[in-house]
């Protein structure tokens, strides 16, 4: 087995900044468009399988609406296992063609999924790199128009679009005009290449253009699995030239993903030319393109505003326990094994958020209003009873738009907060203290501050005491964060202070006690409090 050649990402980024403009071309696969709300090839395979399975077994597709649920996938896959679907080289092409044999239907299907999508920050960063002349040629197997939209949204230089339909004139395009080469077609103009037969052969002029470009520049490949035979054959043809990819063939792979043996051998052959080729592990397309943008010292108000919201939250989460200027504490957290990706949706006669909140008080339901719909999580019977006479159409299950899994602030995230808080209260018998939107604290009135901790504080602060009318309980602040479609629950142990009658303590008294108690919680004590809460939270599965 060939050894996997890995390059250090930061070393590559430093070199990318130093090398001359247009030292590399960029190659984008389907994974780049996922955070813009376009489903990945892997997700589409499950869609095709569901459509085939449900029609064959006369089952309504709504029974399997959430294809992220493992039990749904297993049941669907059992149908294909029974009929002997083994060792299929390209499942996407195979099942797409079986599901929709007519090319016209396939094009309409894809057009509906790529039309009117908004480019993610990765595409905006790509547009900035093109505008700065750091990149000049972008290759893609995608049919969408996200690259062009990104360029236009930033009011940058226009670019030439090259696809199989106009590839015969590719040699006549001016070198100083950026080019986007759509290897399998553009959904707006071209017949699209999707099936195994269609992907067998790359348009001859485009193939020659790739090979010629490989003699002059390196190539960075992002969000592409290497599943198209025509593309792989073209790359293999290119590296036969001893001068191919003078700056290297750089293949970016998601963290934790092992490349196929075919890819490993391809990179190994390319690396023999000049020892500049290899695999780079990245977090995501968006994150990596932003790294390229940032390392080149580019600035754009729109990009910088999005990145501040999107990527600063990816750093170790820190939160100040009180209004004091003490050093923030590094949090720990739990990664969710699964979380909801579908939701009930209905058109209701509710007049606004206030009415929705009143309706859901003391109900085991959480909800939100979004684009004329009422979105709800809860038991179907409970929802129908609660909204009896208020639903105008029908209550149905819908997929949560994939774009929400990448936003740091959305209706979906707000629903998750409501769901988790309701679970804390109803399943864990915990209490919630809230002031406004920014201060939310979970505490247990069964777990008071221990006498041992109070005694330890008095050893170094003899004047410290807890007034008789004050109660201090163990508590935690929490945050829900979505990173690369994974959900993380982050907690920070703290305390909750209130009067004996349950009312909020006076502000100065609260601050005085909090500062002394929390500043006494060094590593071991803090770790103990964290373990205490993690143990409680793991007793019941969310």
**CATH no. for residue 255?**
3.40.50.1220
Last residue of a domain, one of 63, 95, 114: 114
Compute the distance between CA of residue 23 and CA of residue 71 in angstroms, rounded to an integer.
48
Q: How confident is the model at residue 32 (pLDDT cuts 50, 70, 90)?
A: very high
Q: Are residues 161 and 241 in the same domain?
A: yes
Helix (H) or strand (E) holding 359: helix 353-360
The stretch 171-198 carries a mean pLDDT of 62
Same domain, 196 and 81: no
Structural domain for 215, as ranges: 9-37+118-305
* Any domain includes 411: no
Q: Point out the domain boundary residue: 70, 89, 114.
A: 114
**Own/partner pairs for 90-93, CB < 8 Å, 24+ apart?**
90/196, 90/199, 90/227, 90/228, 90/229, 91/45, 92/41, 92/42, 92/44, 92/45, 92/194, 92/227, 93/194, 93/195, 93/196, 93/198, 93/199
**Comparing 10 with 403, which gets the higher pLDDT?**
10
pLDDT at 316: 35
Q: 122 and 270 share a domain? A: yes
* Residue 73 and residue 182 share a domain: no
Q: What is the number of domains present in the chain?
A: 3
Specify if 361 maps to a domain: no
In a domain, 346, yes or no: no
Q: Which long-range contacts (CB under 8 A, 24 or more apart) does 316-324 make?
A: 317/479, 317/481, 317/490, 319/477, 319/479, 319/492, 321/477, 321/492, 321/494, 321/514, 321/518, 322/511, 322/514, 322/515, 322/518, 323/511, 324/511, 324/514, 324/515, 324/519
Same domain, yes or no, for 101 and 132?
Answer: no
Classify residue 408: in a domain, yes or no: no
**Parallel, antiparallel or unpaired: strands 332-335 and 373-377:** unpaired
Do 109 and 176 lie in a common domain? no
The reply to whether 83 and 128 lie within a common domain is no
Show which of 282, 305, 328 is a domain's final residue: 305
Q: Does residue 451 share a domain with residue 328?
A: yes
Confidence band of 540 (pLDDT split at 50, 70, 90): low
Whether 173 and 65 share a structural domain = no
The answer to whether residue 521 sits within a structural domain is yes
Would you say residue 312 lies in a domain?
no
Residues 490 and 532 in one domain: yes
Q: Are residues 156 and 230 in the same domain?
A: yes
In a domain, 439, yes or no: yes
Range in 86-100, 136-150, 425-439 the model is least confident about = 425-439
Query: What pLDDT does 107 receive?
Result: 84
Residues 47 and 29 in one domain: no
What 3-state DSSP class applies to 231? helix
Query: Residue 66, class by beta-carbon neighbours within 10 Å (0-12 exposed, 13-18 middle, 19+ buried)?
Result: middle
Residue 314 reports pLDDT greater than 70: no
**Do the domain assignments include residue 345?**
no
Task: State pLDDT tens for residues 67-111.
Answer: 878 888 999 999 999 999 988 877 888 899 999 999 889 888 988
Across 223-231, average pLDDT: 87
Residues 279-289 as b or e (16 or more Cβ within 10 Å = b)? bbebbbbbbbb
Q: What's residue 63's pLDDT? A: 84
How high is the pLDDT of residue 275? 92
């Amino acid at each position: 087995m060939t050894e996997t050649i890995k390059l250090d990402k930061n070393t590559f980024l430093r070199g990318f900044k130093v090398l001359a403009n247009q030292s590399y071309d960029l190659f984008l696969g389907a994974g780049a468009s996922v955070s813009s709300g376009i489903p990945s090839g892997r997700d589409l395979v499950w869609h095709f399988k569901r459509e085939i399975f449900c029609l064959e077994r006369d089952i309504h597709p709504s029974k399997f609406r959430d294809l992220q649920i493992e039990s749904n996938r297993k049941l669907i896959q059992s149908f294909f296992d029974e009929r002997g679907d083994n060792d299929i080289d390209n499942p996407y092409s195979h099942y797409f063609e079986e599901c929709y044999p007519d090319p016209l239907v396939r094009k309409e299907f894809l057009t509906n999924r790529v039309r009117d999508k908004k480019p993610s920050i990765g595409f905006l960063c790509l547009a900035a790199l093109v505008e700065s002349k750091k990149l000049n040629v972008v290759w893609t197997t995608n049919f969408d128009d996200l690259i062009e939209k990104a360029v236009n949204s930033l009011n940058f230089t226009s670019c030439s679009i090259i696809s199989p339909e106009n590839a015969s004139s590719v040699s006549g395009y001016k070198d100083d005009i950026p080019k986007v080469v759509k290897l399998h077609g553009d959904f707006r103009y071209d017949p699209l290449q999707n099936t195994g037969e269609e992907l067998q052969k790359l348009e001859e002029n485009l193939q020659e253009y790739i090979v010629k470009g490989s003699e002059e520049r390196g190539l960075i490949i992002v969000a592409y699995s290497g599943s198209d035979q025509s593309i792989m054959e073209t790359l293999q043809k290119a590296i036969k030239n001893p001068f191919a990819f003078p700056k290297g063939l750089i293949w970016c792979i998601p963290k934790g993903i092992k490349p196929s043996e075919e890819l490993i051998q391809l990179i190994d052959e390319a690396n023999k030319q000049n020892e500049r080729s290899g695999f780079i592990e990245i977090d995501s397309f968006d994150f990596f393109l932003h790294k390229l943008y940032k390392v080149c010292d580019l600035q754009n108000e729109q990009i910088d505003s999005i990145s501040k919201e999107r990527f600063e939250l990816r750093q170790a989460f820190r939160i100040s326990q009180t209004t004091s200027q003490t050093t923030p504490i590094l949090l720990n957290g739990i990664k969710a094994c699964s979380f909801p990706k579908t939701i009930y949706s209905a058109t209701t006669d509710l007049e606004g958020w206030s009415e929705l909140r009143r309706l859901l008080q003391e109900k085991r339901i959480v909800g939100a209003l979004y684009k004329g719909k009422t979105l709800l999580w809860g038991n179907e019977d409970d929802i129908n009873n609660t909204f009896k006479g208020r639903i105008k159409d029908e209550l149905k299950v819908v997929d949560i738009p994939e774009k929400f899994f990448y936003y740091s602030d959305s209706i979906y995230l707000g629903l998750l907060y409501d769901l988790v808080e309701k679970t804390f209260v109803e399943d864990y018998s915990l209490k919630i203290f809230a002031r406004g939107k920014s201060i939310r604290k979970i505490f247990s009135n069964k777990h008071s501050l221990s006498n041992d901790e109070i005694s330890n504080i008095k050893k170094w602060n003899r004047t410290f005491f807890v007034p008789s009318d004050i109660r201090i309980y163990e508590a935690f602040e929490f945050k829900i964060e979505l990173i690369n479609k994974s959900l993380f629950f982050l907690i920070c142990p703290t305390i909750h202070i209130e009067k004996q009658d349950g009312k909020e303590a006076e502000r100065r008294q609260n601050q005085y006690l909090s500062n002394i108690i929390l500043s006494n919680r060094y590593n071991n004590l803090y770790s103990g409090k964290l373990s205490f809460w993690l143990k409680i939270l793991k007793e019941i599965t969310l």
